[in-house]
Amino acid sequence: MKRKWLSGPYVLWMVLFTLIPLGVVLYFALTDAATGKFTLSNLAKIADYWPIFLRSIWLSIIATLICLLIGYPVAYFIAHCKPTTQRLLQMMIMLPMCISFLLRTLAWVALLDDTGIINNFLTSIGLSPLPLIRNNGAVILGMVYNYLPYMILPLFTVLMKIDPRLIEAAEDLGCNSRQVFSRVILPLSVPGIVSGITMVFVPAVSTFYISQKLGSPGTILIGDVIESQFKAAYNPNFGAALSLVLMVLIFVCVGVMNRFTNDDEESMVTL
């Protein structure tokens, strides 16, 4: 009996609904909206949008790095808690991921708005309000807030897996605590870092809601442009071309990142 045939229906499903759709994207990207003939004009038009592509990438990189800097100490702390505390904290990290990110982003609007909670507080104690919203900083804050858990969880998983005897061995061989960290713990957590960076960068670079709510028309991202091609301008061919470029860009980035690690398991997605 060939047990591997059991995955037949699944493979069929994934071919139908992930591979073929990507083919359709390619088809739309390379055809003219009006005539349906082959054209490269959709792809050529993308040149006008390079500044937006670059801004998306730039803001996402900053957000990803901030997530890494914030996430690593937190993951490290959780990994060294008692198992019961650990499970509780892990759950508290996952909980926000399960709650509508639209509403949570709206809550940030309420906090940061010109007449929002923070500025209301500032005026009430006699300070002048700050321009907290509709700038790049607010967009980055939104990204960091939304995707931080995706950084912490893979880091935590990888730090948990480090055999404590390795740390003892390093100490035994004369490492002080800083050397233990830089020579043993950090290198061993590279797979988690890579997976965390991927899981923050990919959704951040393609987001279209955060920038609409927390940014200004001057800070629109590539996700906004794609969304508007489908929902407002109705030019699916150009939208497909943009998606195609975005996808290729991300696959290249992820491919480069994965060069740093042999661990191709998605360490975050399992509970």
Partner 1 sequence: MRRTNRIFTILVFIFLYIPMIVLAVASFNKGKDIAVFQGFTLNQYKELFRDDNLLRLLGNSVIIAVLSMTIATVLGTVAAVGIHSMRGKLRSAVMGLTNIPMTNPDIVTGVSLALLFAFVGVLLRINAVLGFWTLLIAHITFSLPYVILNVMPKLAQMDPNLTEAALDLGCTPVQAFFKVVLHEIMPGIVSGALMAFTMSLDDFVISYFVTGSGFVTLPVEIYSYTKKPIQPKVYAMFTLMFVAILLLMVTMNLLQARDNSRRKKLRKREAYR
Residues 66-125 touching partner 1, rule: CB under 8 A, are 70, 73-74, 76-78, 80, 83, 87-89, 91-96, 98-108, 110-111, 113, 115-117, 120
Q: Between 53 and 108, whose beta carbon lies closer to partner 1?
A: 108
Contact pattern for partner 1 over residues 14 through 53, marking x by CB under 8 A: xx-xxxxxx-xx-xx-------------------------
When binding is defined by CB under 8 A, the residue of 59, 158, 184, 202 that contacts partner 1 is 202
Q: Considering only residues 66, 167, 250, 263, which one is a binding residue for partner 1 as defined by CB under 8 A?
A: 250
Cβ-proximal residues to 26 (8 Å cutoff; 6+ apart), any chain: 240, 244
Place of tokens 């500032």: 122
Minimum distance of partner 1 from residue 88's CB (angstroms):
8
Cα–chain-centroid distance for residue 264?
17
* Helix spans in 30-163 (H): 41-45, 50-79, 83-94, 101-112, 117-124, 136-161
Among 235, 236, 261, 263, binds partner 1 (CB under 8 A): 236
The least CB distance from residue 256 to partner 1, in Å, is 13
Q: Residue 81 to residues 18, 86, 88, 162, 177: CA-CA distances in angstroms?
A: 40, 6, 10, 14, 18
Q: Check: CB of residue 83 under 8 Å from CB of residue 156.
A: no
Sign of CA dihedral 195, 197, 200, 206: negative
Contacting partner 1 (CB under 8 A), which of 143, 147, 194, 227?
Answer: 227
Q: How deeply is 149 buried, as exposed, middle or buried, from its count of CB atoms within 10 A (0-12, 13-18, 19+)? A: buried
**Least distance to partner 1, CB of residue 203, Å:** 6
Contact between 240 and partner 1 (CB under 8 A)? Answer: yes
The SS3 of residue 38 is strand
Determine which residue in the list 198, 211, 215, 238 makes contact with partner 1, applying CB under 8 A: 198
| Residue 246, C-beta contacts closer than 8 angstroms, at least 6 positions apart | 53, 205, 206, 222, 226
Closest CA to 26 of 194, 202, 247: 247
Among 49, 136, 254, 263, binds partner 1 (CB under 8 A): 254
CA-based radius of gyration for the chain = 22
**Residue selected from 46, 59, 63, 149 as contacting partner 1 according to rule CB under 8 A:** 149
Q: How far is the CB of 71 from partner 1 (least distance, A)?
A: 8
Place of tokens 């929002």: 116
**Total binding residues for partner 1 by CB under 8 A?**
91
Nearest distance, CB of residue 118 and partner 1, angstroms = 9
Work out how close the CB of 207 gets to partner 1 at its nearest, in angstroms, rounded to a whole number: 8
Q: By CB under 8 A, name the one of 66, 167, 230, 263 that touches partner 1.
A: 230
Minimal distance, residue 180 CB to partner 1, in Å: 12
In the complex, the smallest distance separating the C-beta of residue 240 from partner 1, rounded to whole angstroms, is 6
Residues 158-197 that bind partner 1 (CB under 8 A): 177
